[in-house]
Structure 1
Amino acid sequence: MFRFLFAFCLCAARVVHADPAAAPIPPVRFILTFDDGPSLWRSAPTARIVQQLQDNPVTPNIKAVFFVQTAHPAHGGSPAGQALERQSCQQGHLLGVHSGSPRGHIPHPLMSPEELLQSLQQGIRDIEAQCGTQAGVVRPPDWEFNDSTLATYRQAGLAMLQTDVSANDGKIYGWNISLRRRSHMHDALAVVLRAWQAGKLPVVEGVTPVIAAFHDVNPYTATHMTEYLQILVEESKNVGLPLDATPFYTNTEQLRAATLARANGPGYVCDGASRSVTLRERLFGPPEAMTKGCLP
């Protein structure tokens, strides 16, 4: 049977699984994640998001996980991109591997195991060169993975982190405004609520980490990140999902422990609409592996 778990050390973090028969289940705290950056567009979307995470009326000084393209010349493969990576780390954010290849955003199943391993190892080296450390996690471009890529992640010493809730903001060209962002978040959080009530989500250091995915290359997301934070909090309340007094992570090491716990945990909340859909999936359907790793 396909195994989605990775062996790892939680670095002294205490991880338990919520018992649905025991009350109360610890409240939720969101792990914010961002894909595809760092962005060098003229509108400076990555820098704008970093600024809003630091200074917002919901939870100041939020720490997030950025999955970066470390070698692409339009992203982390340039001095300006590397400066953005350093800035993110200096403010307490974590950097994970999205791609370490100069080819950039290539779905991992389309790469040979040898090329993928080289890309992952290069990504790790690039992040450590800018930050001194890296998050220990990888998120595959377009969310696509299979048994072979999972084996290569393990070989590189990385765990895969997907998401429970996605803003569906992966489109960055043309029409990238979400007219359903509030209703979409409401529906996705309602599914999270059912998993939380059933005790299916792991508990880490007294809270239930729930992963939310965005794209820091999307200029609309960058302009409206503070509103997205408000929507997550407000729609959690509207569906009855209890949030911790600090609804987003503000401590880097707590974020690291929660991120690793979820990457090596039982799976993710999958509602069929909680992630972006690629053109290839629209034409040929989602890969079978995309349903693996979902919580039952």
Structure 2
Amino acid sequence: MTHFRIPILAAGAVVWRPAGATKEVVLVHRPRGDWSFPKGKAAFGEPLAAAAVREVREETGLSVVLGPWLAGTRYDKDGWPKVVDYFAAVTDPATADLFTPSTEIDEMCWRPLDQAAALLSRPADRLVLSGLERRTAMTTTSVILVRHATMQGDKRDWEGRGKERPLDAAGGAQARAIAAMLSAYGPSRIYSADSRRCLETVQPFAAATRLTVCSDKRLRGRHFHLDYALQIAGEAMDAGRSTVICAHKEGLSRLLTEMCRHRADDVPTAVTIPKGGVVVLHSVAGKITDISQHLAT
């Protein structure tokens, strides 16, 4: 017989810091007897990137900013499948000594990569660790492409100006999920098309971080100016300044293709970002090394 099972979704992070010629990573010990990376179940509707940051903070006291996705692990827990997605992460040194033992996590430590591999209890976690060695040479910069969330009514029935069409209730929920997602990557600048739907999509994140939204017609619909968008994204990567760009479907697809054409080894094939979709371009020294795709639901 067939047996279809929806997995429990969880997320965690491999938190690292430079240590001479190598790296050190954070491991946590659970009282049941295993050493692993900080991780935990995502709350209902919580983006996995946000869940990873929250779980690291709850289990270790560390505030982190995510880098690229590293790997996923899958195993059964109490007869139910569980999938854990892991991201690379760097931490704020000011939170390094905030760990408090609990009934869930009784010990935390920093270990060099070779010692960490020997200490980890699950073979699958050692594969995740090898992904950090292979893919993350140093801290990455994120250029985050965001397509606006869902809107009120139907385009054909909307009687006002197209740029004034607002988000609907589902779009508002998507915008709040996007804010949590963006916070995980720690961007310091926000650029948006001047359409209401784009501005409302980034508003929750802007309000939470007190960042100013740079609104511009040149990021909207048929007015989209590719050279302007490429300048924003390119300068962000070259300066090492993580940045958000919120725009419409066609413009974002062109921007993604051109950024990869000039700054990556591979060009994605016909990527269309859905409403509420987020594409994170991770770069090192101005070169795109990884791409992460998320969807706010």
The TM-score, its normalising length taken from structure 2, stands at: 0.29
Q: Hey, which of these two has a bigger chunk of strand by percent?
A: 2
Q: Which has the larger radius of gyration?
A: 2
Higher relative contact order (CA 8 A, sep 6+): 1
